[in-house]
Structure 1
Amino acid sequence: MGKDKGSYSFSTCWNIKRHQTGSGMINEIRELGFRYVELNYNVTDELLATIEPMIERGEIGVSSVHNTFPHVPDPDYGTDSVLLGFDDEAKRQRAIELVVRSAEHAHRYGAKAVVVHPGEVPFDYNIDQELKRLYNEQGPASAAYAALWSEMLERREALAATYLRRIGDSLEDICDRIEAKGWDVSIGIETRSRCYQMPTLSEAAVVFDRIQGARVGLWYDFGHGMMMERMGLYDNAGEMEAIKDRVVGIHIHETVGLSDHWCPYVHSGDMSYFDRFLPIIAAAPVKVYELKAACTPEEIERSHELLLGKLAAIGG
C-alpha cells in the first residue's frame, strides 16, 4: 500500500484499460494511497455502476470529472474536437449540454471541478502530428519544422479570435446554467497537447477577462504546457503570472521530449525544469496526477516523495 496522498487525486486514465469493473479500477488506485480520483472521459455508465456505491459509502472521494462524462463515443464531442467553438449551432448547443451533464455528475459526487478541452482552430489534417514528427526527426531548428510551424501559426492566429469568442459564449452559457442550479462546481479549461488546440495561457486570460466572476478558470496541465513550450507556442514561466490566480485545478505529469504523462522528475531525470510549476501546485485547489499506464506504483511513489520534498523546501 502506498503512503497516504492526502488531498492529491489520481486520474483513472492510468488503469482504465486494465479493468472490466469500476470497483477494481478504483481499488487499484486506493492501493497507491490516493483517497480521491478524477473520473476521466473513458469512464462508462457500466463502470460507474460499481463506482457510485463506493462514492456513496465514502470509500473514495471524487476531486473532478473530465468532460465528456460519462463516456460519449461520438468523436465530435471527444477530447480532440472543436467542441465549444463549433460553427454548427446545433452541435455547439449539444456540446454545451454535455458539459452541463458532466457538471451534474460532478455535483452529485461532491467533486469541485469539470475538466474541459474547450476547442481548437480546425485544420483539414493533423498538422500537430506532422510537426511532432519533424521535431523528433529533424529538430525544432530545422528548416522543415520552421516552415510548417509558421504555416500552422498563420492559420491559428488568423482564426483564433473567432473560435475564442465562440468558446467564451459557450462557457458563459454553461456557467449561467450551473449557477442557476446552485451547483458548487467550477469549469476548468485545460491547456492542451496539440499546437492548434485552445487555449494558450494568453488565450485563457482573454476568456477570464471577458467572463469576470464566473465559475470558470484554468485547468493547468503541466505536461501539455511543457510540450507546447518546446514546440514554440508559449512560455510557461513567462506567462503563468497572468493566470496563476485563475487556476482551478492541475494535471501533474511531465514530458520526456514530446512524450507526456510521465512521473515528474523520475522519468526525465531532470531535477529542475519542473520546479517552475511548484508555486502553482502549492496553490491549486484541485491537484490531480494524470499518468500513463507505463508508470509503476514504485515510480509514482518516488515521484510524489520528490514533489513533496521540493514543495516543503519552498514552504508550499
Structure 2
Amino acid sequence: MQQKDKGEYSFSTCWNIKRHQVGEAMIREIAELGFRRVELNYNVTKEMLRSIEPMIERGEIGISSVHNTFPHVADPDYGTDSELLGFEDETKRQKAIQLLVGSAEYAHRYGAEAVVVHPGEVPIPEEISKELGQLYNDEGRDSSKYRRKWEEFMERRQELSSGYVQQIIHSLDEVCNQAAAKGLNVQFGIETRSRPQQIPTLAEAKTIIEALHGAPVGIWYDTGHAIMMDRLGLYDSVGEMQGLMDEIVGVHIHETLGLSDHWCPYVHSKDMSFYDAYLPMIRRARVKVYELKSACTPEEIHQSHELLMKKMDGAREGI
C-alpha cells in the first residue's frame, strides 16, 4: 500500500539492496514507503541501473544523491573502508580520483544534488578499533583499560593523520577541477565515519573544507556515525558542529544503540529526547537521507518519520 508522501526526505538503498537483484523492484519497495527520492548507495551495480535508469527518465523516482564509489566496485582498495583519496601510491590515488569523478558524472546525469564521499583513513589496523569497541562495551569509556588503549590509539592517529588529510585535500582539489571542466553540477559531501581511524574528525573536516574554500565541498553529517565517535571520545558531535553548520551538504538520518548504528531514530532507542540534539543539523542540510538497516520494518520507519516530523515542527514553533 502506498504510504503518505515523505516530501523532501530521501531514503538509501542500503535498507533493501541485499533483498533484491533487480534494481526496479528495489526502488519500488522504497517508493511504497512514501519516498519520492532515493540515495543510490555504493552496492548498486551497473546491472541494477539498467532497470533503475528508465524509472528516473520517466520521473517515477528522483535521485537525491549517490554514494561513492558508484556504481559498485568490487576491488576493496576502492571500497568504503580504505585510504581512497589519501593513498600515497600515486597510481592508486589517481584511480580513486577518477572513480569519484565517475560517481559525480552519474549524479549529474540523474539530477542528484550530491555525492557522498568517504575520504580515506589513517592506516591503523582495524583490529585496534575493534578492540576499542569491545573495551567500550565490556569495561566502559571511563575504565582505566579503555583510557589507556584510547590514549595509545590517539597518539598513533595524531602522528599520522595530518599527512593523509593534506593528501585528501590535494585529491579533492583535483576532483573539483575535473568536475568543473566537465560541467558537473554536484556537491561533494565528506562523510563523518563509523571507525575512529577513519577521516574526517570534525576538526579535520573543517580543515579540508577551509582549504578548498569556494569549491563544491562540504560535510556530509552522518548522525549515527557522529554519535558513535562521540561515545568513543573522538570528538564532540554537537559542540564541534557549531563551526560547520553552514557547510552541511547532506545528512544521513539514523540512531545508534551503543555502538550499533542505522536504527530508526527515537523508535529503537526508546529515548524521546537524545536525538533532538541532531535536529538542527538535519534542518540545515540540503539533502536529507534516511540510512537504515534491513532490520528496520516499514512500520518502524513510518513511526520514526512521524516522530521526527513532529519534533522538527515543534522546534520550528519554539516548543
Name the residue aligned to 1:86. Answer: 87
CA distance in 1, matches of 2:60, 2:42: 21
Matched AA of 1:214: A
CA distance in 2, matches of 1:139, 1:237: 21
Q: What is the deviation of 1:143?
A: 2.0
Matched AA of 1:83: L
CA distance in 1, matches of 2:303, 2:136: 30
CA distance in 1, matches of 2:67, 2:51: 18
Alpha carbons 2:5, 2:34 under 8 Å: kept: yes
CA distance in 2, matches of 1:195, 1:237: 17
Q: What is the deviation of 1:157?
A: 0.7
Q: What TM-score, normalized to structure 1?
A: 0.99
Name the residue aligned to 2:201. Answer: 200
Q: What is the deviation of 1:2?
A: 2.0
Name the residue aligned to 2:286. Answer: 285
Alpha carbons 2:124, 2:157 under 8 Å: kept: no
Alpha carbons 2:229, 2:235 under 8 Å: kept: yes
Q: What is the deviation of 1:134?
A: 1.1
Report whether the alignment pairs 1:44 with 2:24.
no
Name the residue aligned to 2:32. Answer: 31
Is the deviation greater in 275-284 or in 91-100? 275-284
Matched AA of 2:209: F
Report whether the alignment pairs 1:18 with 2:16.
no
Alpha carbons 2:190, 2:217 under 8 Å: kept: yes
Secondary structure in 2 matching 1:63: strand
Name the residue aligned to 1:187. Answer: 188
Name the residue aligned to 1:61. Answer: 62
Is the deviation greater in 116-125 or in 288-297? 116-125
Task: Report 1:216-235 matches (<5 A).
Answer: 216-235=217-236
CA distance in 1, matches of 2:182, 2:47: 27
Matched AA of 2:287: V
CA distance in 2, matches of 1:61, 1:154: 45
Name the residue aligned to 1:310. Answer: 311
CA distance in 1, matches of 2:126, 2:191: 22
Alpha carbons 2:115, 2:188 under 8 Å: kept: yes
CA distance in 1, matches of 2:59, 2:270: 37
Matched AA of 1:136: N
Secondary structure in 2 matching 1:260: strand
Q: What is the deviation of 1:233?
A: 0.4
CA distance in 1, matches of 2:90, 2:151: 31
CA distance in 1, matches of 2:35, 2:167: 37
Identity between Structure 1 and Structure 2 (%): 64
CA distance in 1, matches of 2:66, 2:126: 29
**1:226-258 deviation per Cα after TM superposition (whole angstroms, max 9, x unaligned):** 000000000022111111100001000000100
Q: What is the deviation of 1:224?
A: 0.2
CA distance in 1, matches of 2:22, 2:148: 48
CA distance in 1, matches of 2:238, 2:179: 33
Is the deviation greater in 82-91 or in 122-131? 122-131
Alpha carbons 2:37, 2:62 under 8 Å: kept: yes
Q: Aligned-residue CA RMSD in angstroms?
A: 0.9
Name the residue aligned to 1:136. Answer: 137
Report whether the alignment pairs 1:267 with 2:268.
yes
Name the residue aligned to 1:164. Answer: 165
Q: What is the deviation of 1:282?
A: 1.2
Is the deviation greater in 143-152 or in 294-303? 143-152
Q: What is the deviation of 1:124?
A: 3.4
The runs of 4+ residues in structure 1 deviating greater than 3 Å are none
- Equivalenced residues, count: 316
Report whether the alignment pairs 1:295 with 2:296.
yes
CA distance in 2, matches of 1:46, 1:156: 39
Q: What is the deviation of 1:149?
A: 0.8
Name the residue aligned to 1:109. Answer: 110
Matched AA of 1:207: I
Matched AA of 1:75: P
CA distance in 1, matches of 2:294, 2:129: 23
Secondary structure in 2 matching 1:55: helix
CA distance in 1, matches of 2:190, 2:138: 32
Q: What is the deviation of 1:125?
A: 4.1
Unaligned segments of structure 1, at least 5 residues: none
